[in-house]
Amino acid sequence: MPERYRSIIDVHVILERGNEILLLERQGTGYCDGMLHLPSGHLDEGEPVTEGAAREAYEEVGVRIDPTDLRLATVVHHRQRTDLARVGMFFATAHWDGEPYNAEPHKCGKLLWCDPTVLPSNTIDYPAAGINAYLTGTPLALHDW
């Protein structure tokens, strides 16, 4: 009997400030260095998705988010390679405690507040797909299938 399908679950946080969202420039990770991404990461074993998203926002940009303040903006089923797919849960919020700062300077070059309707050209395609789905109210997006 074939093994059940399993996928990596990613959590992404769209921090909303007026008409802008926060993006991070990756550096020193070996994956898309110099490109922009949302505060994000992998869900830990046994962790609810909203708690994972709040944890990642705290680890990466130092803000504390009550998981109940996160609203599910979209889900992106992303095919990273032919043999690897991921499910990205994109959450949005305009409510957090603290001022965002670069809490992981060994992984992040800088933080940028950007207009989500005109993303910088160096935004990674996967989070860009999630941001576009968030803007259009699309509950589920397929990316690179």
Give 43-62 pLDDT, tens digit per residue: 999 999 999 999 999 999 99
**Nearby residues of 56 by Cβ (< 8 Å), 6 or more positions away:** 11, 13, 39, 40, 41
Q: Is residue 2 part of a domain?
A: no
Q: What is the pTM of this model?
A: 0.95
Please give the residue range of the domain that contains residue 138.
Answer: 8-143
Distance CA 40, CA 52 (A): 9
Instruction: Give the residues across from 111 on adjacent strands.
Output: 24
Cβ-proximal residues to 26 (8 Å cutoff; 6+ apart), any chain:
32, 33, 34, 35, 36, 37, 107, 108, 109, 124
CB 14 within 8 A of CB 21: yes
Residue 3 lies in a domain: no
Residue 1, domain member (yes or no): no
Whether the per-residue pLDDT at 34 is higher than 90: the answer is yes
What average pLDDT does range 31-41 have in this prediction?
96
CATH number at residue 82: 3.90.79.10
Q: Which residues pair with 15 in a beta bridge?
A: 93
46 belongs to a structural domain: yes
Express each pLDDT in 91-132 by its tens digit: 999 999 999 999 999 999 999 999 999 999 999 999 999 999
Q: Structural domain tally of the chain?
A: 1
Asked if residue 76 belongs to a domain, the reply is: yes
